[in-house]
Amino acid sequence: MVRFSDGEGSQQDQKFRMNRRKFLKAGAASALTAGMVGAMKALPAEAAEAAANATGVQNGAKSKLHPTADYGGAGVKFVEHNDQWLGTTKIVGNIKNIHEGDTGFSQANRGKYGPDAQKGYYHYHFVMKHPFNGAIASFALSLAPDFMVSGIPSPQKLRIPDPEQMSQHIKDCAYFLRADEVGIGKMPPYAYYSHKAPSQDDLIKDDLSNSVPVTERLPYVIVVMIDQHLETMLASTGYDGISAAQSMRSYHTTGVISVILANYIRNLGYNARAHHFTNYAAVMAPCIMAAGLGELSRTGDCVAHPRLGFRHKVAAVTTDLPLVPDKPIDFGLLDFCRVCGKCADNCPSGAITHDKDMVEYNGYLRWNSNFQKCTEFRVTNKDGSSCGRCMKVCPWDSKEQSWFHTAGTWIGSKGEASSRLLKQIDDMFGYGDEQIEKYKWWLEWPERYGLPTN
Amino acid sequence: MGTILVFLAGILFLAGILFIKPRAKQDLKWKTVVNWVLYVLWYAITGIGISFIYINSSVGHVKATSTAIFLFLGLSLVIAIILARLLGFLGKTRKEINPSIKA
Ligand code: SF4
Ligand code: SF4
C-alpha cells in the first residue's frame, strides 16, 4: 500500500503545500500593501495636502476645492498664448471679430440656409419641440436680459487679495457653484463679437440694421465648464429627443454660474460681463483655449478638454478684476484628430471633414468642417431634437473614467502612432457608437419632431 | 471595497508564488526566469482582464465586455496552459514527479 506520508513523496507533497507560516507571511505582505494604501487615505490633512502638492498637475492659481487639475490621465503640456498661437491653434493672419448675425444659427434664422432651417430655428423650435428640453431652455432664456449679464460695478472698490489669491478664490467660487472645470485666461480681443445680433424678429427679416456694436475689451476671461452627462449620452443615439437637453443641461447651469460670478465681481467694484448661451458678446471656443481648458478639434468649432472631451458646454465672464491667467494646454489632440476621424465617420449630415490637414479660416488654422450642413441638420432633425452625435462617438469623452481609460488617454496623448493604436482599440471594443439601453430614462415624443406647420 | 480587493490580489499573487516556487526552479537559469516571467505575465493579464471585464460589464459596454472576455481570458488560458506544462502540472506522468509511487 502506498502511503503518501512516507518517503520522498511526502517531502515533495509538503513542498507543494503552503504551510500556515508561509500563508501568514503572504498575508502580512499583502496586508502591508493594503495598509499602506489605507494609511495614505488617513494621512493628516497637512500631509495629504503636501502629497497632493508634490504630485498633482496645476495650471495657474491653485483652487482649494480642486487643488490638482483633472486631465483624466492625458499627458498635458502648458503652451503659449501669443500673436502666433492660441494654445495649439496656429494664427496665420489677422483674426477678424465676427458678427453674431453671421454665426450658424443666426444664418439659419436669417433664411440663408433655406426655409426649413429658418422654420426649424425660429424661436428655438428645434429645442422647444421636446417638452423637457423646452423647459430647460425657457429657464435659460430668463438669464438672457442685459441686466442679468452686465451692469455698473459697485462705486466702492473693495479690498481684495493679490491676483494669485484672487484667482484661486474665483476658481473656488465657481467650483462651489458646481462647475466641473474652471479656467482663467487672457481674453483674446478677437474672441469678442464685432456686433450683437438684433432680435429674432429682425433676423428673420434678414435685417441686421439694429445690431449693436460690441465695444467691451476686458483683459481676462473666466470660463466655467459643465459635463453634459455621461450616462445619458451612452444611452442616446446622439440625435434623439434628449440631445438638445444635454446641451441645455450644461448651458443653463454654466449660465447661472457665470451670471452669479459676474454679479459678485461687480459687487467688488470691478467690471464683469457674463456670456452664456442666451446672451453672448463673445465666441466661446477661443475663450476656452485661452483659459487652458482644451484644444480645437476636427469638428472645427468644438474645443475638447482632456478629461471631458467635448461632452461639455461653457459660459464665461470677462472682467478687469486683477487675476493670474492659466496657460493654454496641449494634450496631443491635433495628432489624435489627424488619425481618428470618428466624428466625421458618424456625423449624420456629413458636416465634418475627413481631410488630414487644416485650412486657413479667418486668420487661423482649423479643420474645414461645414457648419451649414451641421446647422441645417440640427434645426430640421426629424428623429429628435438637435444633435450631438460627434460628441457621443469621440474617444475623448465616450466612456467613464477608469484606470484603463486613464491609461488609454495617456497613450492617446503621445503622438500620431499611439493615437492610431488607441483609435483602433476604441473601435475594437465598440466604444462610442453603442447605445446602452439601461440608462435611457427620458421620454420621446416623435409626433412633435417635425417642422412647425406655420 | 477597493482596499479589500488590493489585499485579496496581493494574497493571491503571493500564494501563487509560494505554490509554484518548488517547481519553478529549474536546472537551467533561463528556464527558471521564463517560469517566473510567465507567472507574472499570466497574473497581470488575468488581473487586468477581470478588472476590465467587471468595469465594462457593470457600465454596460456589451462589445467591450465580450471582446475582453475573448481577449484577456483567452490569453490568460493560453499562458496558464504553457506555464502548467513548463511546471510539470500538465503532460508529465505522476511517475516522473513522484517516484515513491513505485514503492
Ligand atoms: S452636431 Fe451632429 S450634424 Fe453637427 S457636426 Fe456633430 S454629428 Fe454632425
Ligand atoms: S472623434 Fe476623433 S477626430 Fe473627432 S474630435 Fe474626437 S478625436 Fe478628433
Q: Is residue B8 part of a domain?
A: no
* B74 inside domain: yes
Nearest to A430 among B8, B22, B61 (CB): B61
Give this complex's ipTM. 0.82
Separation of alpha carbons A289 and B22, rounded Å: 59
What pLDDT score was predicted for residue B96? 52
Distance between CA atoms of A100 and A275, rounded to whole angstroms? 13
What is the CA angle A187-A190-A196, rounded to 5?
A: 100
Q: Answer whether A340 contacts ligand 2 (Cβ < 6 A).
A: yes
* Nearest residue of chain B to residue A404 (CA atoms): B52
Task: Indicate if the pLDDT at residue A36 is higher than 50.
Answer: no
Pocket test for ligand 1, best of A389, A391, A393 (most atoms within 8 A of CB): A389
Ligand 1 pocket, residue A394 CB under 6 Å:
no
Residue A2 confidence class, pLDDT cut points 50, 70, 90: very low
Within a domain: residue B3? no
Residue B43 within a domain: yes
Does any CB of chain A come closer than 8 Å to the CB of residue B3? yes
3-state DSSP assignment of residue A186: strand
Q: Is B1 on the interface with A (CB under 8 A)?
A: no
Please tell me whether residue A275 adopts helix, strand or coil conformation.
strand
Q: Which residues of A touch B98 (CB under 8 A)?
A: 8-9, 12-13
In this predicted model, what pLDDT tens digit does every residue of A328-354 receive, in sequence order? 999 999 999 999 999 999 999 999 999
Q: Is A377 in the pocket of ligand 1 (CB under 6 A)?
A: yes
- pLDDT tens for residues A293-331? 999 999 999 999 999 999 999 999 999 999 999 999 999
* In contact, A290 and A186? CB cutoff 8 Å: yes
For the stretch A8-28, pLDDT in tens is: 344 444 443 434 344 334 444
Sorting pLDDT into bands at 50, 70 and 90, what band is A191? very high
Give residue B62's domain range: 29-89
Residue B94 in any domain: the answer is no
Which residues in B lie closer than 8 A to residue A27 (C-beta atoms)? 11
CA distances A118 to A20, A239, A278, A376, B100, Å, are: 79, 19, 18, 9, 92
Q: Which residues of chain B have pLDDT under 50?
A: 101-103
Using the beta-carbon criterion (under 8 Å), do A430 and B63 form an inter-chain contact? yes
- Percent of chain A at pLDDT > 90 equals 81
Q: Are A171 and A66 in contact (CB under 8 A)?
A: yes
Q: Does A399 touch chain B (CB under 8 A)?
A: yes
